[in-house]
Amino acid sequence: MERVCAAIGIIILRFLCYLSAEEEILMYTKTETSDLKWTIHPRVNPQWEEVSGLDEDNNSVRTYQICPSDSAGSTGSHWLRSTLIQRRGAWQAYVELRFTMMECSSLPNLHRTCKETFNLLYYQADSDEATPTHPPWMENPYVKVDTVAADFLLRKGGERKFNVKTLRLGPLTARGFYLAFQAQGACMALLSARVFFKKCPAATRAFSSFPETVPRALVQEAQGVCVPHAAQRPAKAAATPPAHVLRGGRPVGGAAHLHLYLPARLPARRHGHQLQR
């Protein structure tokens, strides 16, 4: 005979993950087995170039590189746009970029126009509507994420080190989006781009069950239910236990008010007798 309360309740939890967030990949150029065939602008005298290379594990990868000269038509703004990336329910996405950047002082022929940064932008769309002329190649309609600077700069004959930057973009509302890279004098190579979103896996904790959850914000409430044969503590008796808030997809310290679901007390005989079963 059951000795616990069979009531099932609903809780609102002010933290999203008890476990580490999982990552779901939306696009990863290192896993592509054929040409990326991204769109380059301007089409006349293009400066971005797709090339084959080897990664740190000697695997063949497709990369893009650019190093404009001071010749006519090579300076100015040069764009590179990905194919449409389906967001698959993500409300925000992360872009991990691996790239190298030449130091301007090591490029005397580019000293007037050289830069050691580039811009990352994105454009949302419900269908694969982009063309060589649409959307217009400018900020608004594109949304600028950030100006990306290199932590390590390459020098001729120096150590070859690549940079890793992770940026967040969103909120995402359309079915998909394009990434765009704008170089205005940078001599660089885009080694890889990994686009992913974070989600909280299904979990059971404190006698409460939570489904897999894709966060819509850095900090968000998640709804769970009592596990079978668990009872809800009355609101007046609820405690404030240590909590983990999912901030940016990672659990961090914090505290929040919730109704814990605790096992009912089982009757026991005194004088050392076992619990009734």
In tens, the pLDDT along 114-125 reads 899 999 999 999
Average of pLDDT values for 83-100? 95
More confident site: 1 or 215: 215
Q: Structure pTM?
A: 0.74
More confident site: 110 or 163: 163
State the chain's maximal CA–CA distance in angstroms: 97
pLDDT per residue over 69-85, tens digit each?
Answer: 766 456 689 999 999 99
Cα–Cα distance for residue pair 110/187, rounded to 1 Å: 9
pLDDT per residue over 95-119, tens digit each?
Answer: 999 999 999 988 877 667 889 999 9
Q: Rounded to the nearest 5°, which phi and psi values hold at 57?
A: -105, 15
pLDDT per residue over 164-204, tens digit each?
Answer: 999 999 999 999 999 999 999 999 999 999 999 987 766 66
Given this model, what pLDDT does residue 149 score? Answer: 96
User: DSSP label at 46?
Assistant: -
Q: Residue 60 — very low, low, confident or very high, per pLDDT cuts 50/70/90?
A: confident
DSSP string for residues in 161-173: --EEEEEEE----
Q: Residue 231 — very low, low, confident or very high, per pLDDT cuts 50/70/90?
A: low
